[in-house]
Structure 1
Amino acid sequence: MRIGFDAKRYFLNKSGLGNYSRDLVRILETYYPENEYIKFTPKIKGPSLGDKTIKLPKSRLHNLFPSVWRNNWIVNDLVKDKIDIFHGLSGEIPIGLSKKGIKSVVTIHDLIFLKFPELYKPVDRVIYNRKFKYAIYNADKVVAISEQTKRDIVEFYNFPAEKIDVIYQGCHPAFKLQKSATEKKIFRKKYNLPENFVLNVGSIEPRKNAFQIVKAMESIDVPLIIIGKETKYAAEIKNYIIEKGLQHKIQLLQGFTMEELSTIYAMAEVFVYPSKYEGFGIPIIEALYSGTPVITTNSGVFPEAGGPFSYYIDPENTEELRHAIQSVLENSMMRQEMITKGLAFVQQFNDDKIAAQWNQVYTDLIG
């Protein structure tokens, strides 16, 4: 099979949809090398000359209007490149695939723009809604990354549940490699990290709810490290930290590689993720693979990602979150059980299982 991918995020996004795209293509190339995987992108950072798996716009006009190429004109390129299946990795597919006899599949990650419209500009909501609705009703197969996202598709688009498959998201292999005491010691010294700490990773924005962790940690005598890009919300948290005199035990950091980030996960005493909504919540399985116990939200997708041995809380209840953190830090037997059984649970997200599910989707479409 020749499978084409909408690879814009693969090449241009450093996290989120970019990580999803790179991980999925990587595991497919590893486990099903008999297929050909062609990556279509309007532009690329770095050299691409000679790489026959990368396809860019061919004409000057297509380069001048990359969005139009990606949404419309690309179809003719797919025909020329004899693509059997086109996979929209980020909630959209180009118009007119079926007329050219090209099968299509779309991955839907989340519908945050509909669940939390206040987080988006009105024009962005209109654009996202149009693209998602077209993809959902015109793709030959719709795949959600979680049962939560599947429920949202049914709710907001009145789309039949039986037409939606669920294939979970995997994570970078760095999180699955055990870190030695020596590695941790060197890393701790390099970045001047504390001996023991509570960890949170993710975009520092209101939906992720990191402020709640800061408030919960005020009376707990263990450092907190929050890793994520700078935002207005992050600035509010920093002001609060200064106001409360918490600079000595709360750090906001960013800029780590995947390998470095995986080491920080493995060093943490507990990973705390009181997000209000996610399509999946990849940091949860990153923590579980790293052998770090997880405290997260008690509703939505979070129990789906965290399994039966994570600790669940009401993300709006500061006192409940504080009690959960203290409980995991102070109860070594419970903590060890969370680590051992959490690691066993997360094996369902292994690369070989995800690759097999995707290869079956592609095979069924061609069949």
Structure 2
Amino acid sequence: MRDAIFVAARASQTKMAKIAIDIRNIGKNRTGDEVVFFNLVKNLAVIDKENEYVLLTDRNPVADADLRESIELLQLPNNFKVVPVCEGGANKFSWNAWILPKYLKENLVDILQVQYITPFFIPKKIKAVTIIHDVSFKVFPKLIGKVDLFFLNFLIPLSLKRADKIVGVSQFTISEIKKFYQIPDEKLEWIHNAVADGFAENILAEQLEMVRQKYNLPQKFILYIGTLQPRKNLPALIEAFIKIPTEKRKDLKLVLAGGRGHNFDTRIDEFIKNYGLRDEVFLPGFIDEADKAAIFKLAHVFCFPSLYEGFGIPILEAMTLGVPTLASDIPPHLEITEDSVLLFDMTNADDFSQKLTRIVSDDALRADLTQKELQQSAKFAWRQTAEKMLEIYKGMKKMI
């Protein structure tokens, strides 16, 4: 009898969990959040052969070529299944208020993984975990659209209350969540983002030239890559660029790479026009993921002047390729880079322009930064991030 109880208890402990992950952002040409979920799923697929995964999307991969291509790149094993909950896309409100809750009531799972917003009215027995990239809307509300700000201020507190686990992408993000929402420590975890496997490998000279022509890039340039939202502080970068002395700016251009998507900072166009920089500042648009490493390699230096971040994946991508980097001295950048990149005081325009001048003109500094960046970036890997996320799932499974 005692042996039977022991076997039953052991079976209970090793029982697989059914884990649903919202992958709607995969294949949508988004930036940070797509990178996070794509690489997290890809690495979970390698390390976890025990649990069952249901990858929930709002499009049919048969009809959506971008989604289909992304799913093929994930190389999913048999315990991972993609489920189109609806087709043709869904807005955030209808997805969280109706479409996803309805699916989960009819198809119970043990754990649900989302980002930011947890769906309304999902069964209480489902353990929810949400990834929070940043809470910039609390720090810089004036840089967020009024409608977006209303929904974030209304929905995030409800989501954090419903979530059984809240995962920040940095220790800084967790500290911000605690500060603004007074969440108990036992609900909080943190992971670090990383760079895609093979990101820095096999970049051929022919590929570099092909990418240069594809995006009409200049021969020598300062690179920024990411969203073009107001909190990215790109007008300040334009001003720092024009303050570089003429003799040190000869043949040097500025490339601001990113799509003119949601919440585009219109001051970028205004500054380019007002300063007469149409031939000096290039906006190549969204960069395909397959071309991103090549663009970094083509850059003379990389600059990431953001006012606020939760992590800052582009900095880590630049570091992984040894591209000399200048970044704002905000806490998450310090957490990621330690002393491996050049930092400027984002409250001091003169410090920004002086540091930008120095990094573009000092060969010895750039060489030193390259070595430090390569060493520091080696500390980050999606495999170890996925392993930590899997441990979080295992802890949640014990709560079921």
Q: Mark yes or no: TM-score above 0.5.
A: yes
Work out whether residues 172 and 258 of structure 1, in 8 Å CA contact, stay in contact via their aligned partners in 2. Answer: no
Matches for 1:48-127 after TM superposition, within 5 Å: 53-57=81-85, 66-70=95-99, 72-79=101-108, 83-88=109-114, 90-95=115-120, 97=122, 99=124, 101-127=125-151
Q: CA deviation at 1:56?
A: 3.4
Matches for 1:117-156 after TM superposition, within 5 Å: 117-156=141-180
2:392 corresponds, among 355, 361, 365, to 361
Distance 2:186 2:272 in 1: 48
Work out whether residues 212 and 315 of structure 1, in 8 Å CA contact, stay in contact via their aligned partners in 2. Answer: no
Work out whether residues 27 and 355 of structure 1, in 8 Å CA contact, stay in contact via their aligned partners in 2. Answer: yes
Work out whether residues 71 and 93 of structure 1, in 8 Å CA contact, stay in contact via their aligned partners in 2. Answer: no
Distance 1:317 1:347 in 2: 31
Q: Kindly indicate whether residue 211 of structure 2 is the aligned counterpart of residue 194 of structure 1.
A: no
2:326 corresponds, among 274, 289, 295, to 295
Q: Kindly indicate whether residue 53 of structure 2 is the aligned counterpart of residue 37 of structure 1.
A: yes
Cα distance 1:364–1:258, how it changes in 2: closer, same or farther (>3 A)? same
Cα distance 1:186–1:43, how it changes in 2: closer, same or farther (>3 A)? closer
Distance 2:156 2:99 in 1: 15
What is the percentage of aligned positions where both structures have the same residue?
27
Q: Which residue of 2 aligns with 1:276?
A: 307
Two-structure CA RMSD over aligned residues (Å): 2.9
Q: Which runs of 5+ in 2 are unaligned?
A: 1-16, 69-77
Distance 1:42 1:181 in 2: 39
Which secondary structure does the structure 2 equivalent of 1:55 belong to? strand
Q: CA deviation at 1:103?
A: 2.4
Work out whether residues 31 and 227 of structure 2, in 8 Å CA contact, stay in contact via their aligned partners in 1. Answer: no
Work out whether residues 18 and 54 of structure 2, in 8 Å CA contact, stay in contact via their aligned partners in 1. Answer: yes
Moved more, 248-257 or 34-43: 34-43
Q: CA deviation at 1:71?
A: 5.4
Q: CA deviation at 1:38?
A: 0.8
Match for 2:110: what amino acid?
Answer: D
Distance 2:273 2:149 in 1: 36
Distance 1:58 1:77 in 2: 14
Work out whether residues 85 and 100 of structure 2, in 8 Å CA contact, stay in contact via their aligned partners in 1. Answer: no
| Normalised TM-score (structure 1) | 0.87
Q: CA deviation at 1:175?
A: 3.0
Q: Kindly indicate whether residue 365 of structure 2 is the aligned counterpart of residue 334 of structure 1.
A: yes
Aligned length: 359
Moved more, 223-232 or 22-31: 223-232
Distance 1:36 1:207 in 2: 39
Cα distance 1:235–1:116, how it changes in 2: closer, same or farther (>3 A)? closer
| Normalised TM-score (structure 2) | 0.80
Q: CA deviation at 1:125?
A: 2.9
Match for 1:158: what amino acid?
Answer: Q
Q: Which residue of 1 aligns with 2:18?
A: 2
Cα distance 1:238–1:125, how it changes in 2: closer, same or farther (>3 A)? closer
Distance 1:45 1:293 in 2: 39
Q: CA deviation at 1:298?
A: 0.9
